[in-house]
Amino acid sequence: MKRTIITSMLLSLILLSSSCKTTRDAVAAKSKPSTEKSSKKKPKFKSYSKVITSDAVTDDGLFKTHQVDEDFFYEIPTDLLEKDMLWVTRIAQIPSNLGGGYMNAGSKTNQQVVSWQRFQDKILLKVKSYSEVALDETAAINNSVKVNNYEPTMYAFDIQAFSKDSTAVVVNVTKFFNSDVPSISGLSPRLRKQYKVRSLDKSRSFINSVKSFPENIEVKQDFTFTASEPPSNGSVGSISMQVNQSMILLPEVAMQPRLYDPRVGFFTVGQIDYSSKALKADEKTYIRRWRLEPKDPEAYARGELVEPIKPIVYYLDPGTPENLKEYIKQGIEDWQKPFETAGFKNAIIAKDAPTLEEDPEFSPEDIRYSVVRYVASTTRNAVGPSVSDPRSGEIIESDIIWYHNHLRSYRNRYLLETGAANPSARTLDTDAKEIGEMMRQVIAHEVGHALGFPHNMAASYAYDVEDYRDGEFTQKNGIAASLMDYARYNYIAQPGDKNIRFVRQMGPYDHYAANWGYRVIPNATSPEQETATLNGWIMQKANDPVYKFGRQSSRFDPQSQTEAIGNDPIKASTYGVKNLKYVALNLPQWTSQKTDNYDDLEELYRELLGVYSRYVGHVVTNVGGVNEDLKKPTQSGPVYSTVDKKTQKESVEWIKNNVIETPTWLVDKKIVQNINPDGYFDVLRSVQVRHLNSLLSHDRIGRLINSETVDTDYYSALDMLQDVRKAVFSSSKVDIYKRNIQRAYVDRLNYLMTETPRRSTYNVAQSDVRALVRGELKALQSTLRSKRNASSSKVNRYHYEDLLARVDLILNPR
């Protein structure tokens, strides 16, 4: 009985427990989502149609670009991830005076190679460098190059969606283009500091347009920065500008580079190749040039003229004045002849920009187009920048910049430098055809830069000074062997010389350099396989000065001087100064007497002082001068040789006669008393002192000391210092001008005794410089005492006493 009761109780408890569990499970079932529903996660990416809606405005090209309301999206094909693209930032519209007049609509502010890369759920915009590479990508060191040159990330984008066929990723680029990303902002750190830029005002900044083309994408942004000291419209307290971003797909296979040889002038790109088999990283330098490939390689190889597959085309800015278009086109197409020397016909072409009706997509900022831009600016300049592939040196695009007021510079120089021998230059209203010819040559010069050619400052040294007075010679040869020299006018020709060409033109060196850089060498499949042929072309011309290249940086070389012509600076400057005296005498008649005001007279007089100063500087370079003749070891003779003693001594004598002995012709009362109330004596002093200081410079004295180590018959530093001291203090007539230069001389000796230049090729303090200067100061003391005692002028006695006190203070500082 008892067992039956216990069994019954246990059964009841089991049933109750089962009933409670069923109730709990039912409640739990109601309060918890189903297992099937809880297993679904929120998708990482939105569907394509949710991001790129039916309202999207789409532009198909390199990437598809979409605008949805105020947002912009890039649809990046996955097969274009990791591909190299060139990103170029340009100013499309610019406020007045930004950059001090040397920036303009079209100015490039940055260029960089980028690639789009996927990392997890993001797309990274990476900036790449080709300055350090392993050209042999199979070499083990290639990995070391990568890990020791990690690419910076410009921006990281969240992946929004994938295309419907999953072949492209979609990112929102709105925030990126509306942000102040320094490398693409258009404002350099220097300009930000100069104008006290605080921040980008996002309320006044926006994306203007996004356009996609087959190989590039163009974006225009309107930026407004808050700035305490903007370059113009200061009351607004901001800088507004429009910036264009160009991104172009670089060729999958880079153009075959051509190795640089310093004996032929080219702009360059450089790489350090760590995969070289040399016992160090191999520095490789390639020339910058356009990709010109013959349409018919077989005909080209036979020596026939062949058109290139893709010619170089320049479009004229729609804002170009109609009366100048003819000359600009001629300047561009003048390079057709040198390209013919390289085997190409119609290699470079000038065209008018298409009208809006002809091509509504045309934009001067579009990286597909090279444009000669005509800039409404008071700046007097023209430039020829270009954009190139850093992997190979291939020039992708270039813009020639012509500033409106630049023609005034050429009119002024034409009058000042040729007016004595050239009657047609003696006017403020220069003949339109002559102005056009000047513009043509300037455009051709700037196009030369855009083709890869730097200045060749040795080209004018190729011709004898007397050749410039020969009409037949100048008409045939111009005034330099290359248009790329800074030789603008024939300032040597004298009154009465007949049939003279006064303006520069294309020369034989331009044909030679174009052939060397652009001629395709058949069967050469690497840069190294070209070198023997290229060297052979150089050696054929090696002893002819017409084909010599002279670097602009060679400030010590009298053969390679800016604005100089002729192979004898003393003789050329003598002719030049003689002509300037004639011009100075007639300047009022050619200017103020025609205009009935003194504005042009003042402008031209100040420029005349600059012209005179250049002529003097050409002679100064002879002193301590070193000729640079770039050579390979297989060529005879040294690369560097000292200017001979006789020429140096004659140069100091010329400086004495034309600078230290007062050039009073520069202080013409008919000029100075009509343009300035005072300071006439100081105008001349500043010109004289500039060249005295240049003559007595640490680097020049150092080169003279150096000549003692390599020459047997040399012009020593002591010779020069003694000759200059005697020149400054030899004159019996001492007036305000002479007192000025004597004080300047003592001040300069003080500088040489007490100052050390920041950059010097030798240790000044432990050289002979200060010993020589101390000796000159002591010799000067005796001269000053003698002159003081012999002087009948109280002013001059005071002057000499003052100089003695200055010298004593230098020798015995307190």
Question: What is the C-alpha to C-alpha distance for residues 369 and 244, in angstroms, rounded to an integer?
Answer: 14
Question: What is the C-alpha to C-alpha distance for residues 405 and 184, in angstroms, rounded to an integer?
Answer: 30
Residue 223: pLDDT over 70: yes
From the list 245, 241, 221, the residue with the least C-alpha distance to 104 is 241
Residue 6: pLDDT over 50: no
Token reading at 366: 């579009």
Token reading at 718: 């002591």
Q: What are phi and psi of 271, to 5 degrees?
A: -140, 150
Cα 412 vs. chain centroid, distance in angstroms? 25
Lowest-confidence range among 15-29, 104-118, 519-533, 798-812?
15-29
Residues 248-300 pLDDT 10s: 999 999 999 999 999 999 999 988 766 666 655 678 899 999 999 999 999 99
Half-sphere exposure of 219 (CA within 13 A, CB side): 25
Residue 13: pLDDT over 60: no
pLDDT for 23? 46
Rg (CA), the chain: 36
Question: What is the C-alpha to C-alpha distance for residues 271 and 189, in angstroms, rounded to an integer?
Answer: 27
| Bridge pairing between strands 132-133 and 268-273 | parallel
Residue 35: pLDDT over 60: no
Report, as an integer, the average pLDDT of 187-213: 92
Contact predicate 346/312, CB 8 Å? no
Q: What are phi and psi of 313, to 5 degrees?
A: -120, 130
Residues 289-304 pLDDT 10s: 999 999 999 999 999 9
Report, as an integer, the average pLDDT of 202-223: 93
Token reading at 134: 């392993």
pTM for the whole structure = 0.87
Report, as an integer, the average pLDDT of 61-70: 95
As to burial, measured by CB atoms within 10 angstroms (0-12 exposed, 13-18 middle, 19+ buried), residue 535 is middle
Residues 325-379 pLDDT 10s: 999 999 999 999 999 999 999 999 999 999 889 998 888 878 889 999 887 766 7
Residues 602-633 pLDDT 10s: 999 999 999 999 999 999 999 999 999 999 99
Cβ partners under 8 Å of residue 203, min gap 6 = none
Report, as an integer, the average pLDDT of 555-579: 96
Percent of the chain exceeding pLDDT 90 equals 74
Half-sphere exposure of 216 (CA within 13 A, CB side): 21
pLDDT for 137? 60
Handedness of CA 95, 100, 102, 107 (dihedral sign): negative
Question: What is the C-alpha to C-alpha distance for residues 366 and 354, in angstroms, rounded to an integer?
Answer: 13
Residue 76: pLDDT over 90: yes
Question: What is the C-alpha to C-alpha distance for residues 391 and 257, in angstroms, rounded to an integer?
Answer: 8
Residue 467: pLDDT over 80: yes
From the list 90, 93, 129, 92, the residue with the least C-alpha distance to 398 is 90
Q: How far is CA 9 from CA 2, 13, 496, in A?
A: 11, 6, 143
The one-letter code for the residue type at 193 is: K
> 679: how many CB neighbours lie within 10 A of its CB?
11
Cβ partners under 8 Å of residue 787, min gap 6 = 729, 734, 796, 800
Residue 11: pLDDT over 90: no
Residue 213: pLDDT over 50: yes
Residues 721-754 pLDDT 10s: 999 999 999 877 899 999 999 999 999 999 999 9
pLDDT for 100? 75
From the list 350, 341, 340, 352, the residue with the least C-alpha distance to 307 is 340
In the structure, what pLDDT confidence band is assigned to residue 144 with cuts at 50, 70 and 90?
A: low
Phi-psi region of 733 (alpha: psi -120 to 50; beta: other; left: phi over 0): beta
pLDDT for 376? 72
Contact predicate 143/149, CB 8 Å? no
Residues 381-434 pLDDT 10s: 777 778 899 999 999 999 888 877 788 888 999 999 999 999 999 999 999 999
In the structure, what pLDDT confidence band is assigned to residue 779 with cuts at 50, 70 and 90?
A: very high
For residue 200, what is the enclosing H or E element?
strand 197-200
Contact predicate 416/580, CB 8 Å? yes
Residue 581: pLDDT over 70: yes
Half-sphere exposure of 568 (CA within 13 A, CB side): 15
Report, as an integer, the average pLDDT of 312-337: 94
Question: What is the C-alpha to C-alpha distance for residues 647 and 619, in angstroms, rounded to an integer?
Answer: 10
> Taking all residues of the chain, what is their mean pLDDT, rounded to a whole number?
90
pLDDT for 199? 92
SS3 string of 2-35? Answer: HHHHHHHHHHHHHHHHHHHHHHHHHHHHHHCCCH
**Unique residue bearing structure tokens 């031209």:** 604
Question: What is the C-alpha to C-alpha distance for residues 755 and 761, in angstroms, rounded to an integer?
Answer: 15
As to burial, measured by CB atoms within 10 angstroms (0-12 exposed, 13-18 middle, 19+ buried), residue 806 is middle
Question: What is the C-alpha to C-alpha distance for residues 416 and 613, in angstroms, rounded to an integer?
Answer: 13
Report, as an integer, the average pLDDT of 674-688: 88
pLDDT for 129? 82
